[in-house]
Amino acid sequence: MHLRASAIVVAVRQHGEHGAIVRALTRNDGVQPGYVRGGRSRAMRPVLLQANVIQGEWRARTGEQLASLTAELVHSRATLHGEPLAAGALEWATALAAAALPEAQPYPQIHDALDGVLGAIESAPSARGWAAALVRYELLVLAELGFGLDLDRCVATGAEDDLGFVSPKSGAAVSRGAAFGYEGKLLRLPDFLLAGGEAAWPDIFDGLRLTGHFLARDILVDRRADPLAARDRLVDRLKRAVA
């Protein structure tokens, strides 16, 4: 096995006294794990940070063996790790990819969406500039893994307009008229997920509540602790910042 590709670092775990096991998301070959000799060294720690882009070279004698990985830094997002909101967003966005995606299976749309979200976090002047993109990224992960929400028409009436809620059981949209009297049992569907564009904070938090419900139920059900803890920390930081 020999692979050379650009990749986004999505997880790093210390291995032994000096090494690290790194998982990185490539566009065409999916998540690729590898052992980096000296990965905990002073020289390599700034390279092997979540959300950094590396040029990786993976080598293994067999397909069952953990590959050795050499990594060269292509693009660093190290400075963002010192900013609480941005750091929390980087941690969660990459942790979701690391936890949800099976290894060595290509998901080019998820790769591109993650790259776009990380770029937005890096360039936006405030969290509001990237928070809506994060919700759309979560929605795409659900869809790409076979748990997409049906937001095209009302599950009760078939109507394609006035959609305002989502059933927490079926993941299908519900119109405001059909939801009357049952709003408390449904999840709010913010307009920006249907029409695009910018979003106000109440809509962003509604979007996070919506995607969070289905991520926890359908994708991270057996891996809840670490990834969802990172998400909870991020949402709490966003709420404190807005307040």
d(CA 184, CA 200): 21
Rounded distance between C-alpha atoms, residue 189 and residue 104, angstroms: 34
Region 22-27: mean pLDDT is 98
| H-only helix segments in the chain | 84-100, 108-123, 128-144, 176-179, 192-195, 201-214, 225-242
Q: Is the pLDDT of residue 224 over 80?
A: no
pLDDT-derived band at 241 (thresholds 50, 70, 90) equals very high
Q: Which domains does the chain have, with CATH numbers?
A: 1-76 (2.40.50.140), 79-151+189-242 (1.20.1440)
Q: Provide the pLDDT for residue 225.
A: 55
Half-sphere exposure of 119 (CA within 13 A, CB side): 6
What is the pLDDT at residue 136? Answer: 97
CB-CB contact of 85 with 127 (8 Å): yes
Q: Confidence band (pLDDT; 50, 70, 90) for 221?
A: confident
**pLDDT at residue 11, rounded to an integer:** 97
- Cα 218–chain centre separation: 15
Tell me the pLDDT band of 176, cut-offs 50, 70 and 90. Answer: very high
Quote the pLDDT of residue 223: 60
Segment 142-158 shows an average pLDDT of: 97
- Amino acid letter, 45: R
pTM score: 0.94
User: In b/e form, how buried is each residue of 148-179, taking b as 16+ CB within 10 angstroms?
Assistant: ebeeebbbeeebeeebbbbbeeebbbbbeebb
Strands 68-75 and 53-59: antiparallel
The SS3 of residue 50 is coil
Q: Is the pLDDT of residue 125 over 90?
A: no
Q: What is the mean pLDDT of residues 188-200?
A: 93
- pLDDT tens digits, residue range 67-92? 999 999 999 999 999 999 999 999 99
What tokens appear for 69 in the block?
A: 């990985």
- For residue 149, CA distances in Å to 22, 87, 172 come to 32, 28, 6
- Comparing 87 with 64, which gets the higher pLDDT? 87
